[in-house]
Structure 1
Amino acid sequence: MGYSAPMNTIGMELAALQGVMGGAVPFFLGLVVVLVLLGAFWLGMRVRRREPATPTPEEQPKLPEGGPVVEEIEMREADEMPTDGGCLTPHEMPASGNRSTRRAADQTPLKWNRNSSGGFGSGGPGHT
Structure 2
Amino acid sequence: MVVAAAVVVALLIGAFAFGSRRVRQAGRVRPGPEEQPRMPEGGPVREVREDREPDEMPTGEGRLTPHEMKGRGNSGTRTGAAQERPRWDEGSSGGFGSGGPGAR
Q: TM-score range by the shorter chain?
A: 0.5 to 0.7
1:104 maps to which residue? 80
How far did 1:107 drift? 0.8
Q: Percent identity?
A: 43
Query: Higher relative CO (CA 8 A, sep ≥ 6), structure 1 or 2?
Result: 2
Q: TM-score, normalised by structure 1?
A: 0.47
Question: Unpaired segments of 5 or more residues in structure 1?
Answer: 1-24, 116-128
1:61 maps to which residue? 37
- Residues 52 and 74 (structure 1), Cα distance of their counterparts in 2 relative to 1, 3 Å cut: same
Structure (1 or 2) with the larger CA radius of gyration: 1
Give the alignment of 1:32-111 within 5 angstroms.
Answer: 32-47=8-23, 49-50=25-26, 52-56=28-32, 58=33, 59-94=35-70, 96=71, 101-110=77-86
CA distance, structure 1, for counterparts of residue 47 and residue 62 of structure 2: 38
CA distance, structure 1, for counterparts of residue 24 and residue 47 of structure 2: 38
Q: TM-score, normalised by structure 2?
A: 0.54
More strand by share: 2
Q: Deviations over 1:92-112 (max 9, x none)?
A: 223x16xx7542231124569
Supply the RMSD in Å over aligned alpha carbons.
Answer: 3.5
CA distance, structure 2, for counterparts of residue 51 and residue 91 of structure 1: 47
Question: Unpaired segments of 5 or more residues in structure 2?
Answer: 89-93, 97-104
Aligned length: 88
More helix by share: 1
How far did 1:53 drift? 1.6
Counterpart residue type for residue 29 of structure 1: A
